[in-house]
Structure 1
Amino acid sequence: MSELGPVAVVGAGTMGAGIAQVAAAAGHPVVLVDALTGAAQAALDRMRAALDRRVDQGRISRSEATATTDRIRPADSLADLPECGLVIEAVPEDLGLKQRLLSEVAETQPPTTILATNTSSLDISTVAEAVPDPERVLGLHFFNPPPLMRLVEVVHGETTAEAYLAHAAALMTAWGKTPVRCTSTPGFIVNRVARPFYGEAQRVVEEGLADPATVDWIFRERGGFRMGPFELTDLIGQDVNYAVGASVWEQTGHDPRYAPTEFQRRLVEAGRLGRKTGQGVFSYAAEPGAAVPEPDLGLAERLSSSPIEADPLGRTLAMLVNEAVDLVHRGEASADDVDIAMRLGVNYPKGPIEWGREIGLDLVASHVAALDRAFPGGRYRPSPGLTDGSLDE
């Protein structure tokens, strides 16, 4: 991998700076570029301070920290780029901006340079349309923060060449990451398969079946999730989570399976965005004695033994498995890669395909069919992959 040569990262925000750190820590000379004068240098200064703290904590050595930052050169213009083996753009999620940037990079870089976008939602094929040789355009979707998160989704568009994909995946492994491969489906793997985790919980509350604190308790204590869906969306930001869900919904032609909930829309409209605003589903008031909602354990017990349409965890697991199986059934990712992505990307206790096999795919299919009867309209349609035998081991 040392033959790759310099790596360029365009965009010196949190994601771009983190990706630059990962590449530099792996031994590559890195050019970190941002159009805002001084932004790349400021990002490098913040990185140096963060690494200093890790040295003080005994997590890395002084020589490792120094070697990483010494390999990064800040720049304010694409004109400062040397010939690179890989250019990764990490600018805001604006299609026109990404297309213009990659088109400009393609004009000055060798035809063998891999051009990668760190998009979390845009179609790779559409991004690649502005590049004369789109076969070298692919997605490298890092998760935040890149230095700590192991997962990278390696995403191919309709024209991406296999040789570039294989090389990019091997490179991510060399960088200490775990790559998973997928097509450019809306939301890729993680952001698509995870939709039911949030949506089902919100619908359970909308339907008056349970309060958020009780639902979160069920997910943590009965499901083994590190956080419940309501405390997690408060941490992510209700606006951020809503935007991701709305993007998947729009890109799938307003498929009812991904329709955002009124519950979350009202939170966003009210400015109750979660921890960052002090109020979301729960209150995060700083004063002592602020009320912490208590779960209703009796209700949790009753719901856990209820029919599937009233069981928050059961219906969510059924839909997570259904969504994951559908992705594999469509040929957009392998079963193994889906499970790896969900464990590493969002810390699920098990991959949804593995979970489905433990529950029994036939039972999952019957659960989804029961939900479809209870709530007609297409949201709960069962994936053909649940019953066609394609996932049989």
Structure 2
Amino acid sequence: MDTDVTEPDRTNKETAHEGSSFGPVGVVGAGAMGAGIAQVAASAGHAVALVDAVPGAAATAVERIGSALSRLVDKGRLSADDATAVLQRITPAESIDELPHCGLVIEAVPEDLDLKRRIFAELADRQPPNTVLATNTSSIDIDDVADEVTDPERVLGLHFFNPPPVMKLVEVVHGERTADAYVEHAVALMNAWGKTPVRCRSTPGFIVNRVARPFYGEAQRIVEAGIADAATVDWILREKGGFPMGPLELTDFIGQDVNLAVGTSVWEQTGRDERYTPTAFQQELVEAGRLGRKSGRGIYAYAADGSVGASAEAGEPDLELAGRLVGGPIATDPLARTLAMLVNEAVDLVARGEASADDVDTAMRLGTRYPKGPIAWGREIGFDVVARQVAELDEAYPGGRYRPSPALTDGSLS
């Protein structure tokens, strides 16, 4: 059955086009994200047109989707008839010109602003004026993407997380010129697709990629300073903090180059704010080609099957050292230091009006699998305690990285 989502509020003449409707869905970019998004849309009942600039890439992606659906059938999670129906809804196309008139087009190409601008200008010329144009960007400003679109009120971000058929979270991102009616429409559609949407303003890194920066950065700085080795830091965050992976092993899993690129993007977009300055530790790893699991060596060394190798780089956590660090001074306690900075970052984002406290917590639990949202964690620890901890870090490491958010003590989140 086709997914039926109500149209934007037509009573708002300034923000909703008459006759605006989603209907067929177009997906531009047939890589892992684009193919996953196409599968999600088709599974929700939409006819989907999948296009890629590389000849044959869209057809190959449809074959991959078919294989993924077959695996679900083999596991008993999907009937064979439903799998066939989903696959039949997806049509490969060789160019944007071949896209039908869509209610929604989602762009999922590499993070290249010029490329995205060209695609959105082309889509705006070829799609009806009531087609919603969405980008799956993880960090690029929505207004920059919409720069050459004559009707930018219909441009927004739909940031899916990898892999889209599995991950529930979608960040619905609005620029300064995005109409509220289209944001609400997109939220309704994501709910209809079985996703959990969170709203946020177009701020560098949006919610997840911005709030998560201290999780990686503090661990790298602790190792860089010789306070503790990587295995010990990871053990503390996993075993004492409840995080599914330690920050250092997680960057190896993501790819040191990918993680550095996202962090650098946030840093550049915030005017090179000291809070987001990339570490020399990570830059040196990337320069040395130590990219993590995909290269066989990052912070840790890896065997051919991706498991941590037997070299000295794998290391064993020093449990005696961990016992001395946890509960000690904030500057040398990997867990308390990381939590304080996560809470500080989150309350700053909420105080700027970029997302609600509930949406921040939901995003971080679903998007990063944190055991708790940072706002909830701040309430548990005590925002006044976190304020003192961050102030102590700021005194120990002056320069702006550890400046406390005024929202920690103004009572707005209590």
Q: What TM-score comes out, normalization by structure 2 length?
A: 0.93
Mapping of residues 1-393 of structure 1, within 5 Å: 1-2=3-4, 4-286=22-304, 290-291=310-311, 292-392=314-414
CA offsets 1:138-165 (integer angstroms, 9 cap, x no match): 0000111100010000000010000000
Using the TM superposition, give the Cα deviation of residue 285 of structure 1 relative to its aligned residue in structure 2, in angstroms: 2.9
Using the TM superposition, give the Cα deviation of residue 293 of structure 1 relative to its aligned residue in structure 2, in angstroms: 1.6
Q: Which amino acid aligns with 1:318?
A: A
Q: Please report the RMSD computed on the Cα atoms of aligned residues, expressed in angstroms.
A: 1.2
Equivalents in 1 of 2:87, 2:303: separation in Å? 38
CA offsets 1:112-159 (integer angstroms, 9 cap, x no match): 110001111111011111000000000000111100010000000010
Using the TM superposition, give the Cα deviation of residue 316 of structure 1 relative to its aligned residue in structure 2, in angstroms: 0.5
The more displaced of 22-31 and 288-297 is: 288-297
The more displaced of 7-16 and 46-55 is: 46-55
Q: Which amino acid aligns with 2:227?
A: L
Tell me the SS of whatever aligns to 1:4: coil
| Structure 1, gaps ≥5 residues long | none
Equivalents in 2 of 1:35, 1:265: separation in Å? 32
Conserved 8 A contact 2:340-2:386: yes
Q: Which amino acid aligns with 1:16?
A: G
Conserved 8 A contact 2:104-2:134: yes
Equivalents in 2 of 1:227, 1:349: separation in Å? 11
Using the TM superposition, give the Cα deviation of residue 248 of structure 1 relative to its aligned residue in structure 2, in angstroms: 0.4
Tell me the SS of whatever aligns to 2:26: strand
Aligned length in residues? 392
Equivalents in 2 of 1:176, 1:22: separation in Å? 9
Q: Which amino acid aligns with 2:391?
A: A
Using the TM superposition, give the Cα deviation of residue 305 of structure 1 relative to its aligned residue in structure 2, in angstroms: 2.3
Tell me the SS of whatever aligns to 1:141: strand
Tell me the SS of whatever aligns to 2:59: helix
Conserved 8 A contact 2:22-2:132: no
CA offsets 1:309-360 (integer angstroms, 9 cap, x no match): 1101101000000000000000000000000000000100000000000000
Q: Which amino acid aligns with 2:207?
A: I
CA offsets 1:254-298 (integer angstroms, 9 cap, x no match): 100000111111110110110001111011134998244210000
| Structure 2, gaps ≥5 residues long | 5-20
Equivalents in 1 of 2:225, 2:275: separation in Å? 17
Tell me the SS of whatever aligns to 1:327: helix
Conserved 8 A contact 2:22-2:131: no
Q: Which amino acid aligns with 1:315?
A: R
Q: Percent identity?
A: 72
Using the TM superposition, give the Cα deviation of residue 85 of structure 1 relative to its aligned residue in structure 2, in angstroms: 0.5
The more displaced of 291-300 and 142-151 is: 291-300
Conserved 8 A contact 2:158-2:172: yes
Tell me the SS of whatever aligns to 2:187: helix
Equivalents in 2 of 1:63, 1:190: separation in Å? 37
